[in-house]
A and B are shown apart, each in its own frame.
Chain A
Amino acid sequence: MSRKRTKTIRTDFLARVEGEGAMLVKVRDGAVADVQLKIYEPPRFFEAFLRGRGFTEAPDITARICGICPVAYQMSAVQALEQVCGVEVGGQLRALRRLLYCGEWIESHALHVFMLHLPDFLGYDSAIEMARDQPELVQRALDLKKIGNEVMTVVGGREVHPINVKVGGFYRAPRAAELAPLVEKLARAREIALETVRLTAGLDFPDYSCDYELVSLSEPGEYPIDHGRIVSNRGLDIAVAEYDDHFVEEHVPWSNALHSTLRERGSYLVGPLARFALGFDRLSAGAQDAAKEAGLDPAERNPFRSIVVRAVEMVYAVEESLRLIAEYEEPDQPAIDVEPRAGVGYGATEAPRGVLYHRYEIDDEGTILNAKIVPPTSQNQKAIEDDLRRVVERFIDLPEPELSLRCEQTIRNYDPCISCATHFLTLEVERS
């Protein structure tokens, strides 16, 4: 009689991701039998909560889905609502939105690179342990995060859940004199970001890569942040309004979050690796140079090296912020008037973690009839599970504690914002 060998790797509380998660990996007779990424947080009811609210409330309500990427929610929301109302916000108002978004990229990426992901590579259990040993490193992260926060405060009115964003623009546009003090700080941020590229480029990376379908926004002449068509490295090229024709969401029994796939194609990846692969030529010159020096090119498919890509995107976000401030002219009005009209609107912008899709149906009075919000972490969840499966197969011979750590590190490659992905995880590996 043959005896089955089942190994279990269980992590009951997944550390250093935003929110709470757990993972289960079942290995039977040396092969991966099952992988599940579990989300512990109670499901978010924002889509239901938005029903019956006025369309002008959407930026303030959706900002509260996440404390790390509130701007992303606001920007996708206003884009969708402006679209249904037949309004396009351009010129300096769009520039201000892009600047606000850059602030968020800087602070979010700084938090993830240094406090959530770097400890993995340097052998620390936590950023706090790392701070005891290398305080200057962590202080650098806080300095960078602070500068990103300050950009968000000047443009958005507040660094967390900005209060200055509205459908049509802003409640108040900053004076040029209010943006000026940011220039010197951003210059310092640029130095730190470049140092971060060099630091992360020198880390030891597991030898692993995968031929993902990568999905991001694409806009001619600019690196994707706040606007664009949805494209992939396998030929997808659609308007945002066509999202639901190509992407499907489904509940999986073990998770509160939804799994998102490309219809008839399967899992896909959004986020920095995707943006970098599809939009490299539209990075600023400084960011491109930093990437090349770091040995990165658009063909990069090792998800562990996404930490370096995030560092490059920090360089870009800083340089883009400096460009936007240099070219800023105070708009005549802080916002365009937006009159509601019945219909469905679609919006997609690039949260730090990837494409964030919103769809709203409103009536003639601007009451939200229904809402659909697909966060990037939801979209990546299937790809993360597929990666976990491949990583376990690849490193199956590692001792259990190291394999468990490698699995956790794999999940953290994606900077999963689990708070966002449940509106919606413990590593358990059963070996038999």
Chain B
Amino acid sequence: MLREADVIECEGEPVQLLDAWEAAEAAWVVDAVSSGATPGTVHRLDATQAELPRELFRSSTHAFGLAESIELARALDRLPARLVVFGIEGASFGAGEGLSTAVEEAAGRVEAAVREEVEKCTRRP
């Protein structure tokens, strides 16, 4: 059981994001992306080491997408010591309900990967 980790569902609005990881030592962000890769492709990026490719995370109706919000946090020294982003390539972004099979399967893989990384982090002495 993960005792030291919170799971937060977030709309992606920049203030919300910066507040969500404010006091965290590490954060993992999972988001949908649309880069043209095969639906269900999982992109794992270490945002602490390098800027996220903006074209991967550009779609946003908040003016500031995830990539911009992370750079803003970096400029304001408000990034956690460790920030990992998992981007799941979407299949369809039209109106409707439910996930496509490929995305649902990818979400399962990402969940397992995040869980493993968080467990490793929270078991540190």
Contact = CB atoms under 8 A, between A and B. Distances in A.
A19 B97 CA distance: 24
For the residues of B in contact with A, the DSSP-based class is: loop
Interface string B59-94: 011111000100110011100000000000000000
Contacts of B64: 111, 115, 127
Contacts of A132: 75
Interface in A63-98: 66-68
A131 B76 contact: yes
B6 interface: no
A159 B75 contact: no
A190 interface: no
A145 interface: yes
B68 A128 contact: yes
A145 B75 contact: no
A19 B64 CA distance: 10
Interface residues of A, number: 28
A282 interface: no
A116 interface: yes
A139 interface: yes
A197 interface: no
Given A135-B77, A142-B15, A68 B62 contact: yes
B119 interface: no
B11 interface: yes
B73 to A, nearest CB: 9
A19 B16 CA distance: 20
B95 interface: yes
A68 B63 contact: yes
Contacts of B61: 18-19, 66-68, 419
Contacts of B13: 67, 149, 159-160
A295 B61 CA distance: 34
Interface string A391-432: 000000000000000000000000000010000000000000
B14 interface: yes
A149 B75 contact: no
A145 B76 contact: no
Interface of A: 16-19, 49, 66-68, 111, 115-116, 127-129, 131-132, 135, 138-139, 142, 145-146, 149, 158-161, 419
Interface of B: 11-16, 18-19, 60-64, 68, 71-72, 75-77, 95
14 contacts: A16-B63, A66-B61, A67-B13, A67-B60, A67-B62, A115-B63, A115-B64, A127-B72, A145-B15, A146-B19, A149-B15, A160-B11, A160-B12, A160-B13
* Shortest Cβ-Cβ A-B pairs, 10 listed: A67-B61, A131-B75, A160-B11, A18-B63, A132-B75, A67-B62, A128-B71, A419-B61, A146-B15, A135-B76
